[in-house]
Amino acid sequence: MSGAELNIPALWPFVVYSGVVIFMAIGMLGTSYILGERHRGGAMGQPYECGIVPTGSARLRHSAKFYLIAVFFVIFDLEAVFVFAWAVAVRESGWAGYAEMLIFIGILLSALVYLWRIGALEWGSRHTPRRGAEDSL
């Protein structure tokens, strides 16, 4: 397939579609800008919090545990994906495939050992950065 005659007839609905999407977005934003009401003053510029005046800053410190769990999920769930892919073709890939899978799982296991030894798996307060951060949650 050469680019010069790259199915030009098949492309025009896409071009029209893109044009319509852009036109609609501009149209909606534009008309509401022209026709819409404008309020100033009062509590207009403040974030809406169920009718009460907001208190405190929005910049809380959250615990980084969520992130840790997400990373563990990525590491150990993706491992399963690769193992499944290998399991389908286990006979075809033979001993070489088996050795490769051993190396792969071995590296992941040593990563797990590392995480365990540095205390990343502990749920306690050993790795929380600050006491105050948890109180504010």
Partner 1 sequence: MVRGDFFILLPLIITGGAAVAVMLLISFRRSHLATATVTLVALGAAVISVICVAAAAPRQASALLILDSYALFYMGLIFAAGCAVTMIAYDYFERQTDHREEFYLLLLLATLGSAVLVSSNHFASLFLGLEILSVSLYALIAFHRERLPSVEAGVRYLILAAASSAFLLFGMALIYLERGDMTFFRSTQIASGVPAWSPLLLAGTALLIVGIGFKLALVPFHMWTPDIYEGAPPPATAFIASVSKGAAFVLLLRYVTLFGLHSGSVQSAAIAAIAVASMFFGNLLALREEKVRRVLAYSSIAHMGYLLVAILAAGPLAAVAAGYYLVAYFTSIIGSFGIISVREGREGGGDAVSDYRGYAWRHPWLGGAFTAMLLSLAGIPITAGFVGKFYLLAAGLESSLRLLVVVLVASSAIGLFYYLRIIITLYGPPEAERQGAAITPAVSLAGGVALTALTFLLIWFGAYPAPLLRLIQAMVGG
Stretch that binds partner 1, among 40-48, 59-67, 75-83, 116-124 (CB under 8 A): 116-124
DSSP summary character for residue 128: -
| Residue of 18, 31, 32, 110 interacting with partner 1 (CB under 8 A) | 110
Maximum Cα–Cα distance for the chain, whole Å? Answer: 74
Site for partner 1 in 42-101 (CB under 8 A): 96
Residue 60 CA to residue 122 CA, distance in Å, equals: 23
CB of 4 to partner 1, least distance (A): 6
- Does the protein bind partner 1 through residue 132 (CB under 8 A)? no
- Nearer residue to partner 1 within complex by CB, 3 or 41: 3
Burial group, residue 88, by CB count within 10 angstroms (0-12, 13-18, 19+)? exposed
- Does the protein bind partner 1 through residue 36 (CB under 8 A)? no
Residue 125 CA to residue 133 CA, distance in Å, equals: 12
Residue 1 CA to residue 10 CA, distance in Å, equals: 14
CB of 87 to partner 1, least distance (A): 20
Under rule CB under 8 A, how many of the chain's residues touch partner 1? 15
CB 79 within 8 A of CB 110: no
Residues of this chain that bind partner 1 (CB under 8 A)? 1-4, 6, 96, 106-107, 110-111, 113-114, 116-118
